[in-house]
């Protein structure tokens, strides 16, 4: 596209807020009662983190891997891409993140023993993704039916993953982070361009996560 610098974010917004939120209503209606399964998965994530049984990392990564692949296929590819052609190029990234998480699951590639500020921020972000994000629809005057739920919608799935990764250490961490971060940036930009206050949730998540990672790096350098 020529003279790309003359384009604003609004020029790439292809749909109205009404169409965007109705898309979640239709998606939720089409998948119900799968929400009960993803709710159970959310509870299992919390229980795994709280009790830390043997090989819990494997199961945690497996749940997230399934969620990423499913959301990429069902929501991005089959629904969102119908109103936003650019999403057809983004959906495969969700499959890639799912495969990466699957590799982590098979190899036990992460250790979840992070403590301190980063850990607490991780818990906070995770709690928001699983319990807070679905409440944003009614809190903003929209129908419950348009709520965004972990494992069904992309934003809570990406935010929950960032929360989990903030609790983790390991060599595979740098390859797991970019896709959730980029999705949060993209989705936040889309919501902001639509004038939706909900954009702050994604911006705040990224700001908190970045602050936590910077804090962790500073602490690690101070110790070493």
| Spatial separation of the C-alpha atoms in residues 89 and 103, rounded to whole Å | 23
Q: By CB under 8 A, which span of 2-10, 90-98, 135-143, 209-217 interacts with other proteins?
A: 2-10
By C-beta, is 18 or 54 nearer to other proteins?
A: 18
Please name every residue paired with 111 in a beta bridge, in sequence order, or none if there are none: 169
> Residues 35, 58, 79, 203: which binds other proteins (CB under 8 A)?
79
Rounded to the nearest whole angstrom, what is the least distance from the CB of residue 85 to other proteins in the complex? Answer: 6
Give counts: helices (H), strands (E), the chain: 10, 0
> Residues 37, 40, 83, 207: which binds other proteins (CB under 8 A)?
83
Rounded to the nearest whole angstrom, what is the least distance from the CB of residue 120 to other proteins in the complex? Answer: 40
Q: What is the DSSP letter of 72?
A: I
| Spatial separation of the C-alpha atoms in residues 96 and 56, rounded to whole Å | 22
Q: Which two tokens stand for residue 163?
A: 């929360």
Does residue 11 belong to the site contacting other proteins (CB under 8 A)? Answer: yes
The CA-based angle 186-10-196, given to 5 degrees, is 65
For tokens 């992070």, name the residue: 114
| Spatial separation of the C-alpha atoms in residues 193 and 85, rounded to whole Å | 17
Q: By CB under 8 A, which span of 79-87, 129-137, 157-165, 214-222 interacts with other proteins?
A: 79-87
Q: By CB under 8 A, which span of 19-27, 110-118, 143-151, 172-180 interacts with other proteins?
A: 19-27
Q: Which two tokens stand for residue 77?
A: 């590819």
Does residue 186 belong to the site contacting other proteins (CB under 8 A)? Answer: no
| Spatial separation of the C-alpha atoms in residues 118 and 123, rounded to whole Å | 9
By C-beta, is 1 or 36 nearer to other proteins?
A: 1
Which residues contribute to the site for other proteins (CB under 8 A)? 1-3, 6, 10-11, 13-16, 18-19, 22-23, 26, 79, 82-85
């Amino acid at each position: 596209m020529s003279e790309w610098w003359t384009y604003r974010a609004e020029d790439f917004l292809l749909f109205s807020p009404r169409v965007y939120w109705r898309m979640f209503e239709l998606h939720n209606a089409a998948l119900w009662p799968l929400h009960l399964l993803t709710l159970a998965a959310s509870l299992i994530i919390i229980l795994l983190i709280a009790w830390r049984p043997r090989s819990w990392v494997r199961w945690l990564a497996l749940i997230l891997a399934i969620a990423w692949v499913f959301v990429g296929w069902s929501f991005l590819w089959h629904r969102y891409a119908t109103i936003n052609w650019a999403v057809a190029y983004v959906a495969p990234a969700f499959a890639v993140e799912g495969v990466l998480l699957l590799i982590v699951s098979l190899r036990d590639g992460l250790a979840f023993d992070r403590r301190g500020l980063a850990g607490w921020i991780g818990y906070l972000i995770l709690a928001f993704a699983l319990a807070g994000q679905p409440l944003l629809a009614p809190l903003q005057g929209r129908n419950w039916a348009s709520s965004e739920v972990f494992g069904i919608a992309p934003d809570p799935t990406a935010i929950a993953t960032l929360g989990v990764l903030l609790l983790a250490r390991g060599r595979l961490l740098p390859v797991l982070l970019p896709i959730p971060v980029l999705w949060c940036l993209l989705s936040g930009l889309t919501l902001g361009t639509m004038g939706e206050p909900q954009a702050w949730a994604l911006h705040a998540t990224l700001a908190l996560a970045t602050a936590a990672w910077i804090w962790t790096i500073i602490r690690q350098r101070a110790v070493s």
